[in-house]
Amino acid sequence: MMWENWTIVSEFVLVSFSALSTELQALLFLLFLTIYLVTLMGNVLIILVTIADSALQSPMYFFLRNLSFLEIGFNLVTVPKMLGTLIIQDTTISFLGCATQMYFFFFFGAAECCLLATMAYDRYVAICDPLHYPVIMGHISCAQLAAVSWFSGFPVATVQTTWIFSFPFCGPNRVNHFFCDSPPLIALVCADTSVFELEALTATVLFILFPFLLILGSYVRILSTIFRMPSAEGKHKAFSTCSAHLLVVSLFYSTAILTYFRPRSSASPESKKLLSLSYTVVTPMLNPIIYSLRNKEVKAALKRVIHRILGSQKL
């Protein structure tokens, strides 16, 4: 009876960056479009090089290839719609479209958290137990670990999205974000969401904080092993193999934790948008750059692939 006079929401309006001037939105469009294209090209290049080059067939590059696939998907979920809101002011999104965007955002986000933890475990075994590394990280084990990482996104995405969109949305439909994320959508729900928020916090701990703690524990053991190595060359080689992953993890988790573990009242919507931009737009672009510039094997493989392409064109 309480809801009889309320309008049921059939679509949402993404506020995005509409408070900014038209000129500034046009500049942001060009900036984000450039980042988007660089992200797609960089991650596709990583995928192709790790498939084509025989020297990059180790577990580390197998997981890196999976990370690039995830980054492409993560980017496709949020960036194209954001570009539309900036250039043609296409701010509306259907109820189903919003639910679909949220589902795949949760799916790719949770899968990436688990894959980053898997990559840390791979580095831990390679450095701390090198004699058993070929046995522990065999082809079947790597495929199973990658599959678990990918499929870990399904339960959190299904539960979170289904639960949120089972709530009644009867009032305002303006989502103060550039994509359909759970905190700004929950603010529009006209029902008690306390149980859901407790479940969301639990899911956040399981799929963000727990993998982060596993990564932290792995790197504590890795650094301890590196410092005990007798030769400076061995220390440098061991550290160089995991420095890129450590940098990627730091970028991704620092912004994700600040976004989802801060109290609502401690951050403005605009600051949350900036934090979200860092892990949805900037980090996916930086990953292939970091792995290319800080990894001699990837740089050498890129040169070999380019030489093969140029050589075949001359023929």
| DSSP state letters, 85-110 | HHHS---EEEHHHHHHHHHHHHHHHH
pTM over 0.85: yes
Residue 2 lies in a domain: no
Q: What is the domain-level CATH number for residue 159?
A: 1.20.1070.10
Dist CA 204 CA 198 (whole Å): 10
Q: Which residues span the domain enclosing 207?
A: 11-313
> What is the mean pLDDT for each group of 10 consecutive residues in the chain (315 residues)?
55 87 91 94 90 86 93 92 87 92 94 93 91 92 95 92 90 88 89 88 84 91 87 78 82 79 65 82 86 73 75 58
Report which of 41, 210, 14 is spatially closest to residue 102, judged by C-alpha positions: 14
Residue 291 lies in a domain: yes
pLDDT of residue 291: 77
The total number of residues shown for the chain amounts to 315
**CB atoms closer than 10 angstroms to residue 138:** 12
Dist CA 43 CA 41 (whole Å): 6
pLDDT of residue 69: 94
Residue 212 lies in a domain: yes
For residue 56, what is the DSSP state?
A: G
Q: Which residues pair with 14 in a beta bridge?
A: 175
- Distance, CA of 61 to chain centre: 18
Dist CA 94 CA 114 (whole Å): 30
Residue linked to tokens 């479209």: 97
Residue 35 lies in a domain: yes
For 20, the token pair is: 């900014």
Backbone φ, ψ for residue 175 (5° rounding): -90, 115
Task: Please say whether the beta carbons of 104 and 43 come within 8 A.
Answer: no
For 249, the token pair is: 């993890």
pLDDT of residue 4: 47
Task: Please say whether the beta carbons of 101 and 93 come within 8 A.
Answer: yes
Q: Which residues pair with 93 in a beta bridge?
A: 12
Tell me if residue 231 falls in helix, strand or coil: coil
Backbone φ, ψ for residue 218 (5° rounding): -60, -40
Dist CA 272 CA 256 (whole Å): 10
Residue 247 lies in a domain: yes
Residue 231 lies in a domain: yes
pLDDT of residue 135: 92
pLDDT of residue 264: 60
Per the structure, the count of domains in the chain is: 1
Report which of 154, 264, 258 is spatially closest to residue 203, judged by C-alpha positions: 154
Residue 6 lies in a domain: no
